[in-house]
Structure 1
Amino acid sequence: MSVSRPPASFRHIHLELARESDHPAGDNAHGYDILAPLTADGFLDAEEWRAHRDKCRVRRFRPDDDDLIGRLKHSQGGKWYIDYDPDRDDDDERALHFENEQFRPGEYVAIRENDGTTHTFRVVAVRMLD
């Protein structure tokens, strides 16, 4: 059985918790790994997402918690979110302003996690897929 590879526009995006009051140095054990298509200038590519949405995966990792695996989703209103269980909405996490964010190392993005807390994450790496 052959598994199709994501298109060349797909990148592995690694995010880590940025500095905040409870984590003055940030936290490299709290973050996300996102597999998603980017445009040449580093923005999420909604058109490529539509064509390959089943390949847009997310792994959330935190200290002392099991990793969560979900999918990056794009709503009709143009907003992005992370869906961990398609049968539930209460586990979704809102990717704040992802439609306007450039995913380049050193940039910052915000995610409202499913407990209602909004955190800022630093883009640590953006890599081509092997």
Structure 2
Amino acid sequence: MPKVTLVVANGPGFPSGSPDRRYEIEVALTPGGHLDVQARQDASSPWPARRIWPGAPSQEGDILYDTDTESWAIRLGAAGESPPQAMISHAGQLRPGEYVTIREPDGVEYSYRVVGIT
């Protein structure tokens, strides 16, 4: 699965973004570059996620898909032991230069820019 790197493009306190604040997520993408719902539902293991924020240790977690609300989230902490903390909205295409909105665990929303897919 490709690793998608997202960096803060703007948000409260970061009008010009912050490349040191990022998420790295390993996900399956459709040919159109969207998060692949069917691949997530069929996966036998969690899709890894990591939150990297200066001054704090990186936080490991996974990517969740809620079929009832048709929404994506990031759960930080051990799989199955924590509720979703970061909600992903406006995911659209995950290609370099595209944007995603993530509501952080403290409720603050930031715009993240896709800067890499490896």
Normalising by structure 2, what TM-score?
Answer: 0.89
Structure number with higher strand proportion: 2
In the TM superposition, residue 31 of structure 1 has moved relative to its aligned partner by 0.8
Match 2:8 to one of 6, 17, 25: 17
Take 2:59 and 2:31, find their aligned partners in 1: how far apart are those partners? 29
Partner of 1:7: none
CA distance in 2 between partners of 1:81 and 1:119 (Å) = 14
- Determine if contact 1:16/1:122 at 8 Å carries over to the other structure: yes
Partners of 1:78 and 1:124 in 2: how far apart? 25
Is the Cα–Cα contact under 8 Å of residues 50 and 59 in structure 2 kept in the other structure? yes
- Residues 88 and 43 (structure 1), Cα distance of their counterparts in 2 relative to 1, 3 Å cut: same
1:81 aligns with 2:63: no
Instruction: Give the root-mean-square deviation of aligned CA atoms.
Output: 1.5
Rg larger for: 1
User: 1:1-130 to 2 correspondence within 5 Å?
Assistant: 10-20=1-11, 22-52=13-43, 54-76=45-67, 77-85=69-77, 86-89=80-83, 92-98=85-91, 101-127=92-118
SS at match of 1:54: coil
Please report how far the alpha carbon of residue 55 of structure 1 lies from its aligned counterpart in structure 2 after TM superposition.
Answer: 4.0
SS at structure 1 position matched to 2:2? strand
Count the aligned residue pairs.
115
The Cα of 1:52 is off from its aligned counterpart by 1.5
- Kept after mapping to 1: 8 A contact 2:5/2:116: yes
Gaps of 5+ in 2: none
Q: Which runs of 4+ in 1 moved over 4 A?
A: none
Query: Partner amino acid for 1:42?
Result: G
Structure 1 runs not aligned, ≥5 long: 1-9
**1:78 offset after TM fit, Å?**
1.1
Alignment identity in percent? Answer: 29
For the residue of structure 2 that corresponds to 1:33, the secondary structure is strand
